[in-house]
Amino acid sequence: MSAYIIRGGNYLNGEIRIGGAKNSVLPIMAASILNLSTTVLLDCPCISDVDISVEILRRLGCKVWRDGCRAEIDSSMINNFEIPLELMNKMRSSFIFLGAMLAVGGKAVCGYPGGCELGARPIDLHMKAFRKLGVHIKEHGGYISCDSSNFKACKVALDFPSVGATENIMLLACKQKGTTTIVNAAREPEINDLQDFLNLMGAKVSGAGSSKITIEGVASLSPAEKRIMPDRIVASTIMFAASTTGGNITLQNVNCSHLDSVILLLRDCGADIYTHSDSLDIICPRRLKSTDVLQTMPYPGFPTDAQSQAVAAFATMKGTSIVKETIFENRFNHASELKKMGANITIGDRLAVVRGVPRLTGAHVYSPDLRGGAALVIAALGAEGTSVVDNIHYVDRGYDKLENMFSELGGDIKREDLYE
Ligand code: UD1
């Protein structure tokens, strides 16, 4: 098990290129089975969630080759439509393979994705929509068996704009007869990236980015090559780190409009941010001032995936911030670790009150989850003294060698195997 050893206090300066987005590449890898042919992905990040998707694709009978940030998938030999429990448990978002497997095989079985560190994470919205579309679902012993031979295209309304449910329906419907419409669809930019990929293969999907997505079924799909969109959460993580340590950073390969809510927040806190066509500059003094209230919301609101990093940054800003988490019921586990470093945080029901202190101090802390781990790294980079950030296998799920990114920017961070 590895940990980061971080000596805090350095300003972060320099230029860094943002790679492909985890939340875009995972559904696109699931979608790659739809063309029964070849897919080439560029800017495919080297993160452990991608490794698990590769494992799933191979289990289904696909061939996968990786070379740095290039991945090639050949799904022409796909012969299995069952994902066992142990693979489902490794990554909750493996559930998006269900729609794709049904679209190709007509029948599919997968383990029930259990709860995770963020809370219960039910799948009722996926199941309700699938049933509405004529999919027969049987649940047995932790497994879900689905049969889509009686698929009937229609209009489905989501009770909440779930990202995963929107993607699962898009994958299920794009090779079926008729027109399927998703009402109250999620509007996250990663849904646009999935639509782009499906259309590159010859699908007829429109409306992504709005709350109504229309999918006209086509009989077959063709090979495609796709560059994955830049990761807006990795970009946000670096911006919150700069706001904690102070510094002057240029982020290359970003879509600034995807970062609007983060940019507006950090400008309110006193950061200077200049946006360009595919880059941005962020310049921060050593200590910013906090915002009043921050609430996570579905896109284009402030992303829940950047909430932990914002809390870490608020911990040392001047003033008090109230942070309300509206998406996940259990997403403040990083707070108790930040308190070990001297943060003054009170947690209520989906609420954190963060009273800024001038400086945190180094401590041995444990990543509670992916973004919580990134938050601890941010806090440690700004803290006085040395910190050990443990359990970084969580961080590796979604960051392609976070230590290299921060080292390049002047942070004193290294990975060590503590428990060999
Ligand atoms: C995706 C992202 C994740 C991000 C989240 C919210 C990927 C791989 N993951 O997760 O990083 O934090 O969007 O932006 O893209 N819900 C239900 N029933 C369902 C489905 C969801 O109640 O059937 C609830 C969830 O428990 C959660 C909320 O809806 O409280 C949002 O979930 P959803 O948008 O589905 O998130 P994911 O797709 O799992």
Is the confidence at residue 229, as pLDDT, over 90? yes
For residues 408 and 251, is the Cβ–Cβ distance under 8 A?
no
If you average pLDDT over residues 302-312, what whole number do you get? 98
Nearest by Cα to 374 from 400, 350, 409, 351: 400
DSSP state of 179: E
**Ligand 1 atom closest to the CA of 329, numbered from 1:** 30
For residues 88 and 109, is the Cβ–Cβ distance under 8 A?
no
**Ligand 1 test: best mutation among 162, 168, 171, 228, most atoms within 8 Å of CB?**
162
Rounding to the nearest 10 degrees, give the CA dihedral for residues 135, 139, 144, 145: -50
If you average pLDDT over residues 240-258, what whole number do you get? 97
In angstroms, what is the span from residue 325 Cα to ligand 1's centroid? Answer: 13
Q: What is the enclosing helix (H) or strand (E) of 26?
A: helix 22-31
Give me the pLDDT at residue 116, please: 65
Q: Which residue minimizes the CA distance to atom 9 of ligand 1?
A: 23
Is the CB of residue 84 below 6 angstroms from any atom belonging to ligand 1? no
Q: Would you call 194 helix, strand, or coil by DSSP?
A: helix
Is the CB of residue 122 below 6 angstroms from any atom belonging to ligand 1? yes
Q: Which residue minimizes the CA distance to atom 1 of ligand 1?
A: 163
Q: Which residue pairs, CB below 8 angstroms and at least 24 apart, start in 340-347?
A: 340/364, 340/365, 341/315, 341/365, 341/379, 341/380, 341/383, 341/387, 343/315, 343/316, 343/379, 344/315, 345/311, 345/315
In 3-state terms, the chain is what percent helix, strand and coil (to 5)?
35, 30, 35
Q: How far apart are CA 289 and CA 320, in angstroms?
A: 9
Q: How far apart are CA 64 and CA 58, in angstroms?
A: 7
Q: Would you call 222 helix, strand, or coil by DSSP?
A: coil
Is the CB of residue 135 below 6 angstroms from any atom belonging to ligand 1? no
In angstroms, what is the span from residue 311 Cα to ligand 1's centroid? Answer: 20
Give me the pLDDT at residue 34, please: 98
**Ligand 1 atom closest to the CA of 160, numbered from 1:** 29
The pTM of this model reads: 0.97
Nearest by Cα to 149 from 110, 112, 104: 104
- Domains of the chain in start order, with CATH, are 2-19+230-417 (3.65.10.10), 22-227 (3.65.10.10)
**Ligand 1 atom closest to the CA of 188, numbered from 1:** 14
Interior angle at CA 63, CA 61 and CA 68, nearest 5: 145
Is the confidence at residue 355, as pLDDT, over 80? yes
For residues 361 and 384, is the Cβ–Cβ distance under 8 A?
yes
In angstroms, what is the span from residue 163 Cα to ligand 1's centroid? Answer: 6
Task: Enumerate the H helices of 116-177 as residue ranges.
Answer: 124-132, 163-173
In tens, the pLDDT along 116-150 reads 677 777 899 999 999 999 999 999 888 899 999 99
Active site residues: 116
Q: Which residue has the higher pLDDT, 418 or 98?
A: 98
In angstroms, what is the span from residue 164 Cα to ligand 1's centroid? Answer: 6
Q: Would you call 18 helix, strand, or coil by DSSP?
A: coil
